[in-house]
Chain A
Amino acid sequence: MIKIRNLRKQFGELEVLKGVSVDIAEREVVVVIGPSGSGKSTFLRCINYLEEPTSGEIEVDGIALANDASINQVRMEVGMVFQRFNLFPHMTVLENIMLAPMKVRRMNRTEAEQRARELLAKVGLAEKAAAYPEQLSGGQQQRVAIARALAMRPKVMLFDEPTSALDPEMIKEVLEVMMSLAKEGMTMVVVTHEMGFAREVGDRVLFMDEGRIVEQGTPEDIFSRAKEERTKLFLSKILLLSPTE
């Protein structure tokens, strides 16, 4: 589904990604972990070209990202959920979800609204259709953001630390929505610090550090028998602090 070869990204002098290659299969849930500054968010943002790679090849669903047309084509197939939700504050929840299907997929209003209401029900927020984003809690906003991305019927969903900006008591409701998506067979790439989620839902865990994939494997491989010193060091720090352990 996603094929990445020798991906590099430089911000001025700073090389954030130093040659990342990875294949992600259909229906696979890949969780990317690593210390902050390891390049994991940049890696994710390169997949739909929110960051333009300095070099390397990216192919999504058989489409190679090159010119503007292919970028827009890929973005239609790749949904993204941000750390800070990024809902449109001047629109209601329903309008937030309906906008892109109507403008990009040329769906008519009735159809778009029906689809939006279905998705809201799916994320458990059917009664919030007419609310504005600022009237919702962080967890509710993030669930709306997931519904908004799903409205485009993407083949892949990217999650960029979707629970990092949430109060602890709201993390679970968002993770549950993501879990049910994974069960339905959605292809997902998730950057997160939620090790419980990684272990429970991930098919594969990538550990990134200093712009490279240091180690990858099943959650069991990474969490219980990591081979690399850097992986062990990172896990020892994060698991000690994590209440999910």
Chain B
Amino acid sequence: MNFDFDVIARSLPLLLAGALVTVQITALSVGFGLLIGMFAGIARLSSIKPVRVLAAVYVDFIRGTPLLVQIFLIYFAIPLVIGQRVDPFVAAITACSINSGAYVAEIFRSGIQSIDKGQMEAGRSLGMSWVQTMRYIIMPQAFKRIIPPLGNEFIAMLKDSSLVSVIGFEELTRRGQLVIARTYASFEIWLAVAFIYLLMTFTISRAVDYLERRYRIK
């Protein structure tokens, strides 16, 4: 078998452009996922039962169904509701954010629960409201503890974002498919794609290690 380095070199600009899109969709999804997850995670601990149940249903539904199915659901269900086609980019971000939010919610929930109950009591006994105590005392401490699992979530999302290629969204994996359709160099291109993913996930895990070390000092 002939291994064709040249085809990799020639396709690299296309693939890297795809990688950039992958980074964008991951960053946006995890960003929105953080927001959704923070509120859903807090909602899971709410003293109001309907809020708690709603958050639990959301988390269980998302974690209990495949992301691939969720992407199809959003891509094909939204047009039925709003009466027009959705842009693959919007569908991809929406599906990945909602998906990420459920996992982040569980990370936040366990992070908040890991903080000693005495912290909330101390805050409340000083006259601070529940929201103030959450914001100034519980969350800053929980954030430090959940950096490693959040990093894992970021990495998982980056890899899982390859699934949005099924709705024709041109991120790294989809670009790889398109290049192969033209060059027939399946092995070379998939190998290149794999290495680009590895490079990105490796960079993220190093960054998370750095953050973890930096915040452990205090």
Measured between beta carbons, the chain A residues less than 8 angstroms from B137 are: 88, 99
B122 touching A82 by the CB < 8 A rule? yes
**Interface residues as binary, B135-154 with A (CB distance below 8 Å gives 1, 0 otherwise):** 01100110010000000000
Measured between beta carbons, the chain B residues less than 8 angstroms from A90 are: 140-141, 144, 218
In the bound complex, what is the Cα–Cα distance between A82 and B122 (angstroms)?
8
Nearest chain B CB to A245's CB is how many angstroms away?
32
A174 contacts B by Cβ under 8 Å: no
Measured between beta carbons, the chain A residues less than 8 angstroms from B123 are: 100
Looking at the complex, which one of A48, A87, A104, A145 makes contact with B128 (CB distance below 8 Å)? Answer: A104
Measured between beta carbons, the chain A residues less than 8 angstroms from B124 are: 50, 75
Q: Considering only CB atoms, which chain A residue lies closest to B144 in the complex?
A: A90
Q: Which among B116, B137, B141 has the greatest number of chain A C-beta atoms within 10 A? A: B137
In the bound complex, what is the Cα–Cα distance between A84 and B126 (angstroms)?
16
Measured between beta carbons, the chain B residues less than 8 angstroms from A104 are: 126-128, 132
Measured between beta carbons, the chain A residues less than 8 angstroms from B183 are: none
A50 touching B125 by the CB < 8 A rule? yes
Nearest chain A CB to B62's CB is how many angstroms away?
31
Nearest chain A CB to B111's CB is how many angstroms away?
13
Having A84-B118, A148-B126, one finds 13 other A-B pairs with CB under 8 Å, namely: A50-B124, A50-B125, A72-B129, A75-B125, A75-B126, A80-B122, A82-B121, A86-B118, A88-B137, A88-B141, A99-B128, A100-B126, A149-B125
Interface residues, chain A, with chain B CB atoms under 8 Å away: 48, 50, 72, 75-76, 78-80, 82, 84, 86-90, 99-100, 103-104, 132, 145, 148-149, 152
What are 13 A-to-B residue pairs whose CB atoms are below 8 Å?
A: A50-B121, A75-B126, A75-B127, A82-B118, A84-B116, A86-B116, A88-B122, A88-B141, A100-B123, A100-B126, A100-B127, A100-B128, A148-B126
